[in-house]
Amino acid sequence: MASSMHRQHDENAGGHGVRFGDRGFTLVELLIVITVLGLLAALLMPALGMAMETANRTACAHNLRQIALALKLYANASDGRFPVEETCGNPQRHLVESLVPAYMREIEMFYCPSAAAVEPYAQSHAYGGPGGDSVIDTPENRERYYISYKYFSVTRRDTRMPLPLRLSEYPHLLDAGSPSVRWLMSDWVRKGVPVFPHKERGGWGGGRNVLFVDGSVQFVRHRTPRAFTDRQ
């Protein structure tokens, strides 16, 4: 009898009582949770994007340091001379062939992880002369020696580049004995583009990674023409 009463009590409790752990979300609660998660995502996405671009900029600087080591080895075997290109822009066949594979095995070092962001500006004909350039890592670009960086030991001026050198300073030939503050390489830029790599704004207020003749790499912001020859 007692056992039967206990079973009836349990059945009544199961039928009418609601335990907290068994209760699901109501529609209103679910909408609130979704809204809060959406707001958190909206707040975090810019920070995550900035963190990723900072990592890309660091990886890009690492690329330039590896190229600097290869250039130093080349110069040691070439009476202090660096490779010479016709202009600072693509293609850069002599530079690549001078270093790969003799002094560096990884051609990937010639490609910036942020290059895709500026590829449309490299391709465009709307900025500072003819476009049709490409700076991303593709099999085609590797084959034709199109890379992500500008190289400044050159014989003539590239009109697409905002270089503050006088025409009388060309050919601009660099070697291991050149002033340490001279730029040897840098991130890709082009005259008039609104965006530089690493989501930097274009023009003289923006900035880019720069490899100097002494092998150091710094992030340089351009506010005056002296940025090309003097560290900021």
The reported pLDDT for the residue numbered 45 is 63
* Per-position b or e across 155-181, b if 16+ CB within 10 A of its CB: eebbebbbbeeeeeeeebebebebeee
| Average pLDDT, integer, range 184-207 | 82
Tens digits of residue pLDDT in 18-31: 444 556 668 777 77
Question: What secondary structure letter does DSSP report for 186?
Answer: E
- Rounded CA separation 209/63 (Å): 10
Tell me if 214 sits within 8 A of 175, measured CB to CB: no
Tell me if 222 sits within 8 A of 206, measured CB to CB: yes
Q: Is the pLDDT of residue 121 over 60?
A: yes
Q: For the chain, what are the domain ranges?
A: 28-228
| Average pLDDT, integer, range 168-177 | 89
Sequence-separated (6 or more) residues with CB below 8 Å from residue 147: 90, 92, 95, 96, 110, 111, 135, 141
Question: How much is the mean pLDDT over the chain?
Answer: 81
| Average pLDDT, integer, range 127-148 | 91
Query: pLDDT band at residue 224, thresholds of 50, 70 and 90?
Result: very low
**Structure-model confidence comparison of residues 222 and 186, the more confident one:** 186
- Rounded CA separation 143/2 (Å): 90
The reported pTM is 0.75
Tens digits of residue pLDDT in 49-79: 566 777 888 999 999 999 999 999 999 999 9
Plot region of 77 (φ>0 → left; ψ -120 to 50 → alpha; else → beta): alpha
Tens digits of residue pLDDT in 84-93: 999 988 999 9
Q: Work out the percent of the chain whose per-residue pLDDT is above 90.
A: 45
